[in-house]
A and B are shown apart, each in its own frame.
Chain A
Amino acid sequence: MDASDNDDFSNDVQSDDDLGYYTESEEGKQDQGVSEAIWYVIDANEISAVQEKALQDVMGIMGCSRSIARTLLMHFRWSTETLFGVLAERDKDELYKLASVTSRSTEIPSCSGSQAEVACGCCFCDVPREETSDMGCGHVFCNDCWSQHCKVQIKDGRSRKLPCMGVKCGAACDEETVRQLISDDQEILARFDRSLLESYVEDNAMVRWCPSVPHCGRAIRVEGEVHCEPECSCGLRFCFACGEEAHSPCTCEMWKQWKEKCHDDSETKNWMTANTKPCPKCGKPVEKNGGCNLVMCTCRQAFCWLCGAATGTSHTWTEISGHSCGRYKDEADRRIDEAQRNVKRYMHYYTRWEAHMKSSKAEAETRTSTQEKIAALEDNTSLLKDYSWLSQAQEQLFHARRVLGYSYVYAFYMFGNAMFREEITPDQNAINQNLFEDQQQQLEAEVERLSGLVEMGPERIGKVEDQLRLQVINSTININKRLVNLYELIENDLLGSLQFSVGYIAPYGGKSTLRPDRATPTLTTPALPASKAQDEDLVDLTGLPSSEPALGRFQGREGLRSGDAAKRPRRSGSLD
């Protein structure tokens, strides 16, 4: 799906104005000064160019070598803004010191060469001066020792900021000198260069490798807010803040705990506490399978189910031989109740989460087959038919389905009385839960409706489809609105009201993520008449000071999520 697709859709929407859904303006609701998340995909072969640009920036302004520029940038996590900010506050020497850079501005006096031979401080041999090097900090060693030192350091993964050999010197070695010293070993050299290159991604707070497996080789750079869910060109959507799969509206913390919970057996343990008793003889957990409270373990030990103590084997209606336990053990019972309740609660959320994930998979298959069918139709018929409404709907459905799934994980933690116990009173929690569940239910209903409609799509395509088309578009817009509402509720009322704990979630795609294709300077303006707002939007975005055309392309499909043209002026306004 490309830019024109999206625009086709928004135009579709406009032409369907009489549906009544679209006209509700979202403007005014959204002005909360949320910083915008913008992201770029960097292809594997572009990393070097992107890095080079940052280096050139620094080299140009500081008038320093590439090596120094790189060391400085590594120190400041590749943020030129921070670097120049520090430069403005302090002077160059201090900046260099911070990043353990030694500049060659001060020539080492002994270099003028009164002695022909120097004692190397490492191998303790006397070597001719021309066979020695130093890294600008004045520590002279023979080239053989330097070479070995560099190779050991590079092998140990310390290519970046490779330290000088001097005692407690710590100056970063000049990368050109290092290259010369290790030039006899191509493998090490390659490793060194690769490490320096990858520093741009790995040491950079605003860039992350795409977490795809197998790795697609691309990296994502974000600007502004790191809590966002970019989509790589390989199709993977992930949470930039934690590097895991896209999980909003869960916070990263919730998702982490959920994953652990699903993997470890803490729930199994809870189930065991609630439903089994250890045999007093062999200790194996025993589950009761009949009505009588006299239980027999497989090891032939009989025991009382009520108190867990060993008994004889015979019993009557009222007593078990050699045993009586009528005393009430409040504490133990409460623990069992609690465990039972927890398991039930977990299962409630887990089954729903899992069901939505499964639906999502099934819908993805429908989507593929539909797409094929559409492609075939578009190839065959001479009639110019536009099926973007269907693919947009499927895109929206895919997204909404996932959000719906994750919303159960979110609810599990949000209303579970564990994560935010100190901050939310039980009463408030009940109100919150009601509010949330209302929204969730509405979204769920609409998602199921669209899912049903979309499934009909492939059969009805090319036949009587007008009715379906309207319904699908309606439903798609509805979902978008419900998603916006759900996110608003979560961001503003539920997580936003927290004072002590921090809960950031990636904002809803339609609200904060810039429609990437819009910002591409080379974007061909949609052939269809664009609204005035859109025009302004384009101008503003191409004029972004740091959008760095060299970086290339905004990528991804935000699609219908931002199918609300009315919002665009707001967005362009806050980008300045």
Chain B
Amino acid sequence: MVDLGRIQKELKEIDRDKTSGVTVKITGNNLQRLTGYVEGPRDTAYEGGYFVVDIQLDDQYPFVPPKMRFRSKVWHPNVSSANGAICLDILKDQWSPALTLKTALLSLQALLSSPQPDDPQDAVVARQYLTDNATFQRTARMWTENFAHKALAATEDEKVLRLADMGFTKEAASVALQTAHGDENAALELLLAAV
């Protein structure tokens, strides 16, 4: 059984701290599917970006790490440019139950400002980072502008509302959207298949 008490406390703490640059919203109805938002760190190619992170909590959370993945497309050596998978030690074997969603999201923010090309998730990006840093910076900035602006995150909410208008619950709609990686039509198909 997932420790609801702890998650609620964590969410409260994140809500209270407005200055951290990270927020978390509930996606599903059981506190195990959440959406995190990370502001791009200043003085980097990701500045001004508003990155959406899918979060899934296992039953054994916090004794196992949360599953996190960028829903926004990110051009970064430690993030898969194809599916947003993240290579970060604390999300794997270095996880400690004393860490929280907030600290994990802050670590993601830190990862954005200091890439680790020696331990890459995306080899192509890592090679570009090492050999042609100027192009890397340009691409990262372009991806940030195109795929990680706040308005896009807002359209996500609109998609949820649109799906909800079709008669699905908001929770179901956002879970489906998350599963479909933001593809509204695919999400609709998922919802219809579940009916």
Contacts and interface: CB of A to CB of B under 8 A. Distances in A.
B65 to A, nearest CB: 11
Nearest to B3: A123
A168 B5 contact: no
A249 to B, nearest CB: 42
Contact of B96 (A125, A148, A166): A166
A139 B5 CA distance: 21
A167 B60 CA distance: 18
B94 interface: yes
Interface in A128-174: 139, 141, 145, 148-149, 152-153, 165-169
B9 interface: yes
A4 to B, nearest CB: 56
Contacts of B98: 121-122, 139, 141, 165-167
A124 interface: yes
A153 B10 CA distance: 23
Contacts of A149: 63, 97
Contacts of B62: 122
A286 B18 CA distance: 75
Given A123-B3, A152-B64, A168 B97 contact: no
User: Which of A125, A145, A153 has the largest count of B CB atoms less than 10 A from its CB?
Assistant: A145
Interface in A149-201: 149, 152-153, 165-169
A149 B63 CA distance: 6
Contacts of A141: 97-98
Interface in B1-34: 3, 5-6, 9-10
B97 to A, nearest CB: 5
Nearest to B10: A124
Contacts of A145: 97
Chain B interface size, under 10 / 10 to 19 / 20 to 34 / 35 or more: 10 to 19
A167 B96 contact: yes
Interface string A92-131: 0000000000000000000000000000011111000000
B94 A165 contact: no
Interface in A428-481: none
B108 to A, nearest CB: 16
Nearest to A139: B98
A168 B5 CA distance: 24
Given A122-B62, A152-B60, A165 B6 contact: no
A125 B8 CA distance: 12
Interface residues of A, number: 17
A153 B96 CA distance: 11
Contacts of B64: 152
Nearest to A153: B63
Interface string B48-85: 00000000000010111000000000000000000000
Contacts of A168: 94, 96
B99 interface: yes
A123 B99 contact: no
User: Which of A124, A139, A153, A167 has the largest count of B CB atoms less than 10 A from its CB?
Assistant: A124
User: Which of B3, B63, B99 has the largest count of A CB atoms less than 10 A from its CB?
Assistant: B63
Nearest to B60: A152
B63 A148 contact: yes
Given A121-B98, A165-B97, A152 B6 contact: no
A141 B96 CA distance: 12
A537 B114 CA distance: 66
B111 to A, nearest CB: 15
A399 to B, nearest CB: 47
Contacts of B5: 123, 125
Contacts of B60: 148, 152
Nearest to B62: A122
B97 A122 contact: yes
Interface in A10-60: none
User: Which of A121, A139, A169 has the largest count of B CB atoms less than 10 A from its CB?
Assistant: A121
A169 B96 CA distance: 9
Nearest to B63: A152
Contacts of A125: 5
B4 to A, nearest CB: 11
A362 B191 CA distance: 67
Given A123-B3, A123-B6, A124-B9, A167 B99 contact: yes
A484 B3 CA distance: 68
Interface string B93-135: 0101111000000000000000000000000000000000000
A141 B98 CA distance: 9
A122 B61 CA distance: 10
A145 to B, nearest CB: 7
A153 B65 CA distance: 12
Q: Top 9 nearest A-B pairs by Cβ distance?
A: A152-B63, A121-B98, A167-B96, A122-B97, A124-B9, A165-B97, A149-B63, A167-B98, A123-B6
Given A124-B10, A168-B94, 14 more contacts: A122-B6, A122-B62, A122-B98, A124-B6, A124-B9, A125-B5, A139-B98, A141-B98, A145-B97, A149-B63, A152-B63, A152-B64, A166-B96, A167-B96
Interface of A: 121-125, 139, 141, 145, 148-149, 152-153, 165-169
Interface of B: 3, 5-6, 9-10, 60, 62-64, 94, 96-99
17 contacts: A122-B62, A123-B3, A123-B5, A124-B6, A125-B5, A139-B98, A141-B97, A141-B98, A145-B97, A148-B63, A152-B63, A152-B64, A165-B98, A166-B96, A166-B98, A167-B99, A169-B96
